[in-house]
Structure 1
Amino acid sequence: MTTLAPSAPAAPPEPGLTPDEVVARAEALAATLVERQAETERRGYYAEDTHEAFSRAGFYRILVPRRYGGYEFGPETFAKVAMALARGCPSTGWMYLFGAAHALVAGTVFEEEVQAELFAGGEFICPATVAPAGSARPDGEGGWILDGTWGYCSGSPYATHFIGHTLVAAGEGQPPAPMLFVAPREKFERLEDWGAQLGLKGSGSHSIRIEGARIPGRHTLGGHLSMMAVTEDTPGRRLHGPEYGGGPLSFMLLELGVLAVGMARGALDAYDLLMRTRTTSFFPIVPRTEDADFQARYGEAAGRIAAAEAAVLHAVQQWQALCGKEPAAFTREEELRLALIGREAVRLAWGAVEGQLFPTAGSSSVRAGERVERVWRDMSTLHSHAGNGVFLASLAPRELAQAHFGPAAG
């Protein structure tokens, strides 16, 4: 391992900024996103002026380590910011979260020399995918030549870097092994192939193509991000402290719960307005706010969303608390347990929207482009995410039990 001489930490643009202030900025900006949802969907990603506003607000530095000019506000502040943005515009919240979240990954798994290179600009916007794609061949100097296309790279329009996986040859008679790599912006091209999906049309989830790019060996790691153990310490824990020693898998999957809660809160906001401005369809004709059935539906949805928010934010707090213990405490079993809390938050939030709000909002309120309709589409599309629809739905519960009791017989 190459160890650099210690250098003075870089100061962020606003050294006195606090976590509460940055969350308040997100809530204020989220209110401006509501009327821009259709525009964002048409474009396929949020606007340049929105990106600039996020930059000025410090959102792209929340998880960047302090020594590199970041605010290092931690996962809970990041979750609250992303949740607020998803409440204003689901696509914008999704694109922001999956672009900015991986500063935590980079600050955890890479060595000091690499981190100094990755975070040199202060801001870090880095989509990441877990499905291996493309190919890599040795360059003869300890690095790799990459070729391929990686799909669903949420956050790619304003990306500074990209984290992906590919397969490389292992020993004789062995199957190919996964390799993680990080590539800077000048090494890849964003394809114009996003926007035809049912929902999250404005989430900037374009494909990324790499052609013949040389990636230094120090910018790669053997293995797969979802399987990386942190029980024997991490470079980030040694460099920055315990919150850069947590499990990447669990935090990545908790992010789905964070987004689901934000989206559902946006639908509840729209339903609240309908309650105040619409009447019942059947006699007695009264404002919906005075009708017992509408009151019950609103209350049921509000309770489920509040429970989902409490669950996912407390899970993030548990994640941070585990980081504060010795590295051995962050076991695979703990990772899976936390990840499954994220799944339950998705279920609660989706149950509120799909079961209570969407069916009773009224036909005119679920036309194409209406806020309730858009949230329903976006949350439906969230369910197609492999982390939620495949891993958390079937693999994670079984693996959690195996981690606790031991492998299944046979």
Structure 2
Amino acid sequence: MTANMNTAELDLPPLPEPGLTPARVIARAEAMVPELIERQAEVEERGFYAEDIHERFARNGFYRILVPRRYGGYEFAVETFLRVSMTLVRGCSSTGWMYSLGASHALMAATMFDERAQAELFSGGDFVCPSTAVPSGSAVPAAGGGWTVNGTWSYCSGAPYGTHFMAHALMPGEGGSPPSTLLFVAPRRQWARLDDWGQLLGLRGSGSHSITMENSHIPDHLAQPGVRIVEHDATSGTPGRTLHGNPEYGGTLHAFISLLNCSMAVGMARGALDAYEDLLRDRTTLAPPMVPRYQDPDYQLWYSDAFGMIGTAEAALLNAIQQWHHVAAQGPAAATRESDLRLSAICRQAANLCWEAMGQYIIPTAGSSALRHGERLERVWRDMSTLRTHAGLSVLLPTVALRGLARTLAR
């Protein structure tokens, strides 16, 4: 992400590591993969990654990748962030998911909120903001301004180390009209994390706890009535594009969410393929002649088909990221709902390729022993199965979003 504005006249805060580059931050993620693999069991047992991993993520600059330079962030490209996410997921799905869905919302905050809000939100440098797109709870006007918010929101990935919380509450309708939504961001002191995560089939260590708020006051500058992230319209420009002079703070947000979900699928599939490669080296065929599986013609074909499908999915993802950046760089008018949904449709098919590679080739031919409790492949299979139940990726994207894409043809 390269800002277009001249920052020479700004009194920019010092960076924790001035010489950090996108290549270096990605390399740091890659270097952590072996340890993340080894610690998957403890992450699932705890329900979230450990404090020392959290501290290392902070030292590595992971929590500042998308934070604007104006506020002490690195303001690296969306591609850098998604490559880091995909890499961490390859090592441990739960860890990568929890990190990604916590740190990714820096882009939304830097895109949608004004200068006063951003100066407050990013004042700590590191930004970890769990969020959920499903409206819940209630928001009513508060005496003296702002909003009083109450409610509980589930599936708030990243909650254990969250510095903020971004969600949608329901405002009462007037004159018999249905309620509308209030997008808001609450600092950590305004909410509590419930101890209710870890009992699902997969992603048990993703820190996707519920968050609850009781009579929390949200000031007007941290609230946007009638706004939903997945329906955000950037065609008239955004506060972030104006403030930072950076087109990536003016891109389509539904597509970014789809890119993020797709990077989770590709990372998981890469992790499964890694485990499958180890299996082909370590185990022999089931019938004579007994040879290492990587020497067997059938296993060679199964592996290569899976490799090709996952590689195709990754290539489609990386190209879609470049398309997203290109649309943003063209200017606000290019960030249309059509472009948003077209990229989301690509992400859906790329994620499907990952699922099919695992379901058609890796899992059936790995053998039941590879799916014993605690095996790496067993855990990734559970995690991918849980990803398939994600409402945005598996319910709303293939129905509401794709129908919306087709309707744009009539315009």
Q: Normalising by the residue count of structure 2, what TM-score does the alignment of the two structures yield?
A: 0.96
Tell me if the contact between 1:11 and 1:68 (Cα under 8 Å) persists in the aligned partners. no
Which amino acid is the alignment partner of residue 367 of structure 1?
R
Given the alignment of the two structures, is residue 231 of structure 1 paired with residue 235 of structure 2, yes or no? yes
Tell me if the contact between 1:33 and 1:89 (Cα under 8 Å) persists in the aligned partners. yes
* Distance across 1 between alignment mates of 2:62 and 2:288: 49
Stretch deviating more after TM superposition (133-142 or 69-78) = 133-142
| Residues 358-384 of structure 1 deviation map (CA, whole Å, 9 limit, x = unaligned) | 111111111111111111110110011
Q: Which residue of 2 aligns with 1:243?
A: 248
* Distance across 2 between alignment mates of 1:7 and 1:189: 36
Give the Å deviation of 1:283.
2.0
Please give the secondary structure, in 1, of the residue aligned with 2:175.
Answer: coil
1:179 to 182, 185, 195: 182
1:351 to 330, 334, 356: 356
Given the alignment of the two structures, is residue 164 of structure 1 paired with residue 167 of structure 2, yes or no? yes
Given the alignment of the two structures, is residue 108 of structure 1 paired with residue 111 of structure 2, yes or no? yes
Q: Which residue of 1 aligns with 2:215?
A: 212
Please give the secondary structure, in 2, of the residue aligned with 1:67.
Answer: helix
* Distance across 1 between alignment mates of 2:169 and 2:216: 13
* Distance across 2 between alignment mates of 1:12 and 1:405: 48
Give the Å deviation of 1:103.
0.2
Give the Å deviation of 1:7.
5.2
Q: Which residue of 1 aligns with 2:5?
A: none
Tell me if the contact between 1:12 and 1:69 (Cα under 8 Å) persists in the aligned partners. yes
Q: Which residue of 1 aligns with 2:263?
A: 258
Q: Which residue of 1 aligns with 2:379?
A: 374
* Distance across 2 between alignment mates of 1:274 and 1:393: 34
1:360 to 362, 365, 369: 365
Tell me if the contact between 2:202 and 2:382 (Cα under 8 Å) persists in the aligned partners. yes
Which amino acid is the alignment partner of residue 252 of structure 1?
I
Tell me if the contact between 2:320 and 2:343 (Cα under 8 Å) persists in the aligned partners. yes
2:328 to 320, 323, 331: 323
Q: Which residue of 1 aligns with 2:202?
A: 199
Given the alignment of the two structures, is residue 400 of structure 1 paired with residue 405 of structure 2, yes or no? yes
Tell me if the contact between 2:139 and 2:182 (Cα under 8 Å) persists in the aligned partners. no
* Distance across 2 between alignment mates of 1:202 and 1:405: 44
Please give the secondary structure, in 2, of the residue aligned with 1:212.
Answer: strand
| Residues 27-69 of structure 1 deviation map (CA, whole Å, 9 limit, x = unaligned) | 0012210010011000000000000110000000000000100
Percent identity, aligned pairs only, is 56
Give the Å deviation of 1:74.
1.4
List runs of 5+ in structure 1 lacking aligned partners: 1-5
Please give the secondary structure, in 2, of the residue aligned with 1:128.
Answer: coil
List runs of 5+ in structure 2 lacking aligned partners: 1-8
Structure 1 runs of 4+ with >4 Å offset: none
| Residues 191-219 of structure 1 deviation map (CA, whole Å, 9 limit, x = unaligned) | 01000000000000000000111110111
1:305 to 303, 307, 310: 310
1:290 to 295, 298, 314: 295
Tell me if the contact between 1:143 and 1:215 (Cα under 8 Å) persists in the aligned partners. yes
Q: Which residue of 1 aligns with 2:79?
A: 76
Tell me if the contact between 1:12 and 1:122 (Cα under 8 Å) persists in the aligned partners. no
| Residues 294-336 of structure 1 deviation map (CA, whole Å, 9 limit, x = unaligned) | 0001101111110111111111111111110120101001000
* Distance across 2 between alignment mates of 1:183 and 1:29: 31
Please give the secondary structure, in 1, of the residue aligned with 2:290.
Answer: coil
Tell me if the contact between 1:297 and 1:357 (Cα under 8 Å) persists in the aligned partners. yes
- Structure 1 residues 45-84: aligned runs within 5 Å: 45-84=48-87
| Residues 144-195 of structure 1 deviation map (CA, whole Å, 9 limit, x = unaligned) | 1111100000000000000000111244232211110000001000001000
* Distance across 2 between alignment mates of 1:73 and 1:194: 32
1:129 to 128, 132, 150: 132
Tell me if the contact between 1:151 and 1:208 (Cα under 8 Å) persists in the aligned partners. yes
* Distance across 2 between alignment mates of 1:73 and 1:24: 14
The size of the alignment, in residue pairs, is: 401
Q: Which residue of 2 aligns with 1:278?
A: 283
| Residues 261-288 of structure 1 deviation map (CA, whole Å, 9 limit, x = unaligned) | 1111111111111111100001221110
Tell me if the contact between 2:159 and 2:193 (Cα under 8 Å) persists in the aligned partners. yes
* Distance across 2 between alignment mates of 1:11 and 1:320: 27
* Distance across 1 between alignment mates of 2:102 and 2:262: 16
* Distance across 1 between alignment mates of 2:187 and 2:409: 40
Q: Which residue of 2 aligns with 1:337?
A: 342
